[in-house]
Amino acid sequence: MSFISLGISESLCVALRQEQIATPYPIQTEAIPAVLSKRDVLGISKTGSGKTLSYVLPILMNLQKKEVLKSRHIQVLVLVPTRELAAQVHSVFSKYIHASLLPIKSLAVFGGASINPQMMAMSKVSILVATPGRLLELVSLHAVHLSSLEIVVLDEADKMLTAGFEKEMDQIFALLPKHRQNLLFSATLSDQIQSLEKVLLHDPLVIKMEEDSNALDLIHQSVYAVPEEQKGPLLRYLIKSQDMKQVLVFASSVARVDRIVEKLQKNGIEARSIHSRKTQGARTELLRDFKQGNLRVLVTTDLLSRGIDIEFLPFVINYELPRSPIHFIHRIGRTGRARRFGEAITLISPSEEAHFKVIEKKMKKKVPRVVCDHF
């Protein structure tokens, strides 16, 4: 199977090859023809399985046949839960628009940044990638109009439908035109998505990729059981002794993230923190530096556990466990992507042992414990 055979143009295929993407992922094989035929789609597939290109490529194909609408009347709306994911999805659209010389404009809008430049940039935008709150602000200021929308995408739909977004999403749904194509993509199939499917989607193609039993095998997992007070010294020992060059560390709170970074820096390890209290400019710059390999250690909360694609990330370390087993799987899913091996290390204190057994049960995988007496 090739992208050409799925209906993707040669110019876009050239752009794919430049990114060393030659063969479609399974979800792309099913979703692309359906989106091209303007059918509603509900796609459920694990993180890192290629969901973004499943809608980006066919949307660009469909738009190149249309004329740009009058100013501030967008044709495509992509709703995402975080600023980082908005910027990432927009970058994917922009990359393939530029590479294939399409006369289409994409824009990302989100809170935490000045609204005025985003309003000024709305002119002649066809594809708007937005977080819900900022979209509603722009609508209220008449900076964007939704009456001509043809395609609505919910990316990370399971997170978009949580209680934190429920009120905003209801407001947005009320503003959308009745006749449109709806595309929902998610890593998990929650009760909220199943309920929304009944009211939002019309005769959808439901794509549920079975979890590959070998998917986690690309991630070499190990667990170090240590007292809580020894986690910091062990973390520093692992980074130094294994000469780790690109490490993403997860902790449970902003305060803990900042303390970890402070200790790493005091011990001569280059590290920075990224979390919700950072400005958007700082977050964007830190993430770019980390992706480019210019930052050795990035410490974060679950802010970066979903939807952020860091290509070929070699190491993920769980300093603390997340509340949900699903969040743990999303965390370690930052590595072992694009069919490349990665390593996920988890530090657990005695009080976390029972919770980690629940996580192992969810993964259907027993993770080996590592003895480390000297550090």
Q: How far is CA 274 from each of CA 86, 133, 246, 287, 343, rounded to the nearest angstrom? A: 16, 21, 15, 8, 21
Q: Is the model's pLDDT at 95 over the cut of 90?
A: yes
Of the listed ranges 68-77, 124-133, 140-149, the one predicted with least confidence: 68-77
d(CA 157, CA 162): 9
If asked whether residues 154 and 88 sit together in one domain, one would say yes
The number of folded domains in the chain is 2
- Of 154, 180, 208, which residue constitutes the final position of a domain? 208
* 214 Cβ contact list (under 8 Å, min separation 6): none
- Of 160, 188, 208, which residue constitutes the final position of a domain? 208
> Is there a contact between 337 and 309 (Cβ–Cβ < 8 Å)?
yes
Which run of H or of E encompasses 289?
helix 280-291
* Residue 163 maps to a domain: yes
If asked whether residues 21 and 92 sit together in one domain, one would say yes
Query: What's CA 290's distance to the chain center, in Å?
Result: 16
* Residue 120 maps to a domain: yes
- Of 193, 208, 223, which residue constitutes the final position of a domain? 208
If asked whether residues 203 and 224 sit together in one domain, one would say no
198-251 tens-digit pLDDT: 667 888 898 987 655 455 567 899 999 999 999 999 999 999 999 999 999 999
Question: For residue 132, what pLDDT band results from cuts at 50, 70 and 90?
Answer: very high
* Residue 91 maps to a domain: yes
* Residue 374 maps to a domain: no
If asked whether residues 229 and 165 sit together in one domain, one would say no
CATH of the domain at 175: 3.40.50.300
If asked whether residues 141 and 73 sit together in one domain, one would say yes
Q: How confident is the model at residue 213, as a pLDDT?
A: 43
Q: Is the model's pLDDT at 343 over the cut of 60?
A: yes
pTM for the whole structure = 0.72
* Residue 37 maps to a domain: yes
Whose tokens are 């039993």? That residue is: 213
If asked whether residues 147 and 239 sit together in one domain, one would say no
Six-digit token string for 181: 């194509």
Domain coverage including residue 329: 215-363
**Residue range 138-143: mean pLDDT, rounded:** 96
Number of H helices, E strands in the chain: 14, 13
If asked whether residues 73 and 169 sit together in one domain, one would say yes
If asked whether residues 165 and 251 sit together in one domain, one would say no
> Is there a contact between 337 and 314 (Cβ–Cβ < 8 Å)?
no
If asked whether residues 185 and 105 sit together in one domain, one would say yes
* 338 Cβ contact list (under 8 Å, min separation 6): 48, 311, 312
* Residue 369 maps to a domain: no
* Residue 125 maps to a domain: yes
Question: Which residue, 206, 243, 204, is CA-closest to 38?
Answer: 204
Six-digit token string for 204: 């959808």
Count other C-beta atoms under 10 Å from residue 164's C-beta. 12
